[in-house]
Structure 1
Amino acid sequence: MHMKTPFRLDDHPRRPQPPLASPPAGYFDQLPRQIMARVQPEAAHESVTWGWLATLSRPLRTALASVVVLGGFSTAFYLSQPATQTPNLPPATALAAVPEAALIDYLAVNNQLETEDLASLPLPDDNLMAYFLQASPQELEAALGPAPLDEAYY
């Protein structure tokens, strides 16, 4: 194993450097002024139109910003509404304006009655079935059988 020899900086002489020129007289006195003259911030040219906004207080600017945002949302909502609005017509007039084909299509798709719906419908006062069948009550009872006693259909 090799042991590394210790390195001491004092044992090594420094190389001679060429002498530097001395700074001109008063160089360091004038240096800050020269630097500041070169690094001047650009003159802040504020917009004449928005200059009044900088003079407002911070809460007032926040309130103004919220009013502008709310106004933008309400304008967008107002402009997104359909242009033609139907006037409020009575139901009979509005139903008469709907085409008959559209009504038939709607009823064909959505006409699903339950027995509960039929049970709650009021029966007409006059007996229309007797008018159409032209049969006596005895003939109807013989054809249909006795009426069920339980109310399972309701």
Structure 2
Amino acid sequence: MEPKKPIRLDELDRQHALRQLPFTTPDGYFDTLPTRIQAEATRRTNHRFTISWSWQRSVSTLAGAGLVAALIWFTYPKKQDSLEPELLSNISSASVLDYLQDQDIYLEDYSDIIKTHDMPNDSTLIHELHVSPEAIQQMIEEDAAGTVTI
């Protein structure tokens, strides 16, 4: 395939189709163009947007605003306050368990949620009970022998 040869416009003769102007303008078009542009600009500045007052427009605006306010008033969710401890203390444990079973919620579902790191370890519990290790050892030995003294 042979490479394309660039064509220079000045190398073509004057009668060639590529050298002819594809568009023509009416005679004197560019002579009157500035005055026509100025006349159009003046006409557009004189024609301004105006709003006239009418009672129908005022009533329809107020009705629309009232409708929007009513929709917001009736559909806006109400804030739920927290339950008081006295109200919750009146509910029996059996009722709570029945509710949880009706909802297919069981204690096993929550067993992985319980935080064990908040629970104190055994040595902390022993320290808080103020029991000496010797007393604990004595209790273990008595329990193993079958006699417990309290």
- Could you state the TM-score of these two structures normalised by the residue count of structure 1? 0.30
Higher helix share: 2
Structure showing greater relative contact order (alpha-carbon pairs closer than 8 Å, 6 or more residues apart): 1
- Could you state the TM-score of these two structures normalised by the residue count of structure 2? 0.31
